[in-house]
Amino acid sequence: MKSFLEKLNAFLLLLMFAVTLLQIVARVILKESSVWSEELARFLFVWIVFVGAAALVRDENHIRITVLTGRLPPGACRALRILTQIAMIPFVVVFTWGAYLNMVYNWGVRAPTIDWMRFGYVYLGLFWSGLIMLWYVTANLLKEVLRSWFGHEGNFKTRR
């Protein structure tokens, strides 16, 4: 799934770039400013960020400060890793829940300049991102707990 998300995001990035470029071309060469392009590019950007952020959770590639993690004995380090995964859960839950509510409220709300676009679709990106994060955080947590209980990862394959 992670590889799919990454490719999807690369494609969205390409689209976003193309739309932004089109906006300049339209204005400078065709002398016609397109109002919809800026909005579409922004929505693509929102998707890139949230979907990308979800993909980063799996391999724990989010930016973090690693002052403690590298310097503790293995046992304490493992406990710390479990603790950090648990700490992420309340935030992800409230985020996903909020994204869901926003999605429902805004499902029919039209974007000002794009006919077929609804604000709900933008929040769909957030909601989807939240669900993936929840999945990855839980999986990482379970993996870590199993490893410390049984000394190995049970049925979870090592993915690193």
| Distance from C-alpha of 9 to C-alpha of 50, rounded to nearest angstrom | 10
DSSP conformation letters of 88-155: HHHHHHHHHHHHHHHHHHHTTPBPSS-TT-BHHHHHHHHHHHHHHHHHHHHHHHHHHHHHHHHSS-TT
Nearest distance from residue 43's CB to other proteins, in Å? 8
Measured from the CB atom, is 28 or 74 closer to other proteins?
28
Nearest distance from residue 115's CB to other proteins, in Å? 19
List the beta bridge partners of residue 72. Answer: none
* Contact residues: other proteins, CB under 8 A: 6-7, 9-14, 16-17, 20-21, 23-24, 28, 38, 41-43, 45-46, 48-53, 55-56, 60-69, 80-81, 83-84, 87-88, 90-92, 94-95, 97-99, 101-102, 105, 122-123, 126, 130
Measured from the CB atom, is 66 or 158 closer to other proteins?
66
Measured from the CB atom, is 130 or 143 closer to other proteins?
130
Q: And the tokens for 108?
A: 């029919």
- Per DSSP, the three-state class of 10 is helix
